[in-house]
Chain A
Amino acid sequence: MTSGMATNQKFRHNFLNRVGATGATGRRVCILTLLLLLLCPGEVVMGQEGAQVVTGPDVAWWVWPLVLLVLTFIMGILAALGGVGGGVLYVPIVSGFFPFHLDFVRGAGLLVALAGALAAGPGFLKMNLASLRLAIPVALIASTCAIAGAMVGLALPTNVIQTSLGIAILGIVILLMTAKKSEFPEVEQADRLSSVLGIYGVYSEASLGREINWKIHRTLPGLLLFIGVGFAAGMFGLGAGWANVPVLNLVMGVPLKISVATSKFLLSITDTSAAWIYINKGAVIPMMVVPSLVGIMLGSLIGVRLLRVAKPTVVRKIVIGLLLFAGLKAITKGLGLPFIV
C-alpha cells in the first residue's frame, strides 16, 4: 500500500514537473492535473512538506492559477446546482488541497463570494426577490460582526483557524443534511419589531401564477443569530449563504425564494466589511483572486443553465460529500495529522 502510494506520488511528481518543464500540453494537462489533485490530493499537494513538491521553481507559474480556474469553474457549477454559495466550497477545498496559505485563501474566498453576490444582487433587488428592508438591519449586525471575525481570524495562529474551519465545515455539513426548508413558512402574525421596521413584501410566484405577500416573525432571535453568522463569515472567509438561508427561512419565516435572494444580496454587504480587513492586511494575491473569481462566476452561469437537467438531490449529495472531505482535511491539517480517508 505504502509502496503503491509512493510510486503514485513519484509518478505525479514527475508528471507535474513535466508540465512545468515543457508547458506544451496546455489545458488538457491541467485538467488531468486537476483530476489527480481531486482524486489523491493529500499525497500530491499538501501536508506542509508536500507543498514543496509542486510549488518549487520547476513548475510553471501558470499551472496553479490555471488549475485554480478549472477547479473554481467546477465549484461554481456544483455550488449553483447544490444550492450553496461558492465561498463555502472554495475556502476548505483550496486551503486544504492547494499550496496557498490560509490567510490568502480566506481573503480570496471573501472576494469570490463578494463578486458572486455583487453580480446577482442588482437583478434580485429589481425583481423584488431580495428585500432591502429585510437586508439593512441584518446586514448592519452581520457586517459589524464580520469585521470582528476577520480581525480575530487574522490574529489567531493558522493551525487553530484551520482546525476551527474544519469543525465549522462539518457543522455546515450537518446543517445541510438536517435542515428542512419551507417554501412558504407559516407566519400567523408579524411580530412587533418587524412591524415597526416595516419588514414585509410581495413578490410574483411564477409557479403558482400569483403574487405572494410575506411578513416575518421572531425578528429579534433571527437578528441575534446573525451575530454568529457574520463572525464566522469574517473569520473563515466562507461567505455565509449556508447560514443566512436557514435563519431567514426557518427562524424568521421568510419565504424560501426571498430568503435565498436576500441571502445572496446580504453577502455583498457582509463580505465587503470582512474583505476590507483582509485587503488592508495585505492578504490578497491577485494571481489567486482573479482566476478564482472568473472560474466561479463562469461555473455559476453554467450551473444555473444545468439546473433544468441536473438532479439536484444527487448534486447536493456530491456537495455535501466534498464539504465532508474538505472539512476532515482541514481538521487533520490543522492538527498536523496525516489525512486518512
Chain B
Amino acid sequence: MNEESNAPDMTDGEISTNESTDEEPGTPGVDDSIDVVASDASPGALEEQLLYAKILEVGMFLGLGLLLVSFALYVLRILPPVIPIEQLSDYWTMNVHDYLGALNEQFLHQEHLLTGWSWLSQIGKGDYLNFIPIAILSAITIVCYAGITPVLIRKKDRAYAIMALLEVFILTLAASGVLTVGH
C-alpha cells in the first residue's frame, strides 16, 4: 500500500463510476487544479491527505520504536526506575491522586506532585523514560495538522485551514497541562 504509483493525476470529474451520475458539489475557495493527487494507487487522495499520512507514518514508527527501546531499558533494569518494579503492584491499585501522593512521599520527596510535564525531570529513570515515546505518539497529530496547514492556506481552503489551526490549538492546549482536574 506504500508503493508509489505512476498513475496519472486525476480529478474528481475524470473519475468514472457506475454508482452515481450526479455532479459532485464543488469546494468553494479550493483550487481544483491542485486539489487531487494520484498516489499509491489511490484515486482522488488529496495533497494534504498524503502529506498528513507521511508525517503520521514517520511519527508512528519513531514513537513505537522508541517505546520498545525505552521499555526494554526499563524492564531489563538498565536504567533504574523511580518505583522499584517489584513494588509497582502496591501502587497501581490506587487512584491516580493517591498514587502520585505515595510516589512523591516515598520516592521523589518533591514540593509538587509529578503532574503535567514535570515527568521530564525524571527521564533518567527507566519508568519515566517511557514517557518520551508516549509523548511523541500523542503529539504526532499536532505535527500533522501543523504540517498540512500551509498547504490548505496555499490552496485558499480557508475553512479547512481555520479548522486545522483550531485543532492545533485544541491539541496543544490539551498537551500543555494547563487543563487540570482533580479527584
Residues of chain A at the chain B interface (Cβ within 8 Å): 51, 55-57, 59, 61-62, 64, 99-104, 111, 114-115, 118-119, 121-123, 125-129, 131-133, 136-137, 139-140, 143-144, 147, 150-151, 154-155, 157-158, 184, 189-190, 194-198, 200-204, 210-215, 268-269, 272-277, 279-290, 293-294
User: A202 touching B127 by the CB < 8 A rule?
Assistant: no
User: B137 touching A114 by the CB < 8 A rule?
Assistant: yes
A interface, over-half SS: helix
Residues of chain B contacted by A122 (CB below 8 angstroms): 53-54, 56-57, 60
A100 nearest in chain B by CB position:
B92
User: B96 touching A103 by the CB < 8 A rule?
Assistant: yes
Per-position 1/0 for B79-123, Cβ under 8 A of A: 000000110111011111001100000000000011111010000
Residues of chain A contacted by B54 (CB below 8 angstroms): 122
User: A282 touching B100 by the CB < 8 A rule?
Assistant: yes
User: A288 touching B92 by the CB < 8 A rule?
Assistant: yes
Among A277, A281, A289: residue with most chain B CB under 10 A: A281
A126 nearest in chain B by CB position:
B40
Shortest distance between the CB of B161 and any CB in chain A (Å): 10
User: B167 touching A269 by the CB < 8 A rule?
Assistant: yes
Interface residues of B in 41-87 (CB under 8 A from A): 41-46, 48-50, 52-54, 56-57, 59-60, 63-64, 67-68, 70-71, 74-75, 85-86
Residues of chain B contacted by A200 (CB below 8 angstroms): 12, 24-25
Interface residues of B in 22-44 (CB under 8 A from A): 22, 24-28, 30, 39-44
User: A282 touching B114 by the CB < 8 A rule?
Assistant: yes
User: B163 touching A154 by the CB < 8 A rule?
Assistant: no
Residues of chain A contacted by B63 (CB below 8 angstroms): 118
Shortest distance between the CB of A227 and any CB in chain B (Å): 14
Shortest distance between the CB of B83 and any CB in chain A (Å): 9
User: B175 touching A276 by the CB < 8 A rule?
Assistant: yes
Expressed in whole angstroms, the Cα–Cα distance for A64 and B91 within the complex equals 13
Known pairs A55-B90, A277-B174; list 15 more (Cβ under 8 Å).
Answer: A61-B86, A101-B95, A115-B137, A125-B52, A126-B40, A127-B42, A136-B163, A154-B182, A197-B27, A197-B159, A210-B18, A277-B179, A279-B131, A281-B181, A286-B130
Of A99, A125, A202, A293, which one neighbours B92 at CB under 8 angstroms? Answer: A99
Of B49, B57, B89, which one neighbours A128 at CB under 8 angstroms? Answer: B49
Given A115-B64, A118-B59, A211-B17, are A100 and B93 neighbors across the interface (CB < 8 Å)?
Answer: yes
User: B17 touching A212 by the CB < 8 A rule?
Assistant: yes
Expressed in whole angstroms, the Cα–Cα distance for A143 and B54 within the complex equals 22
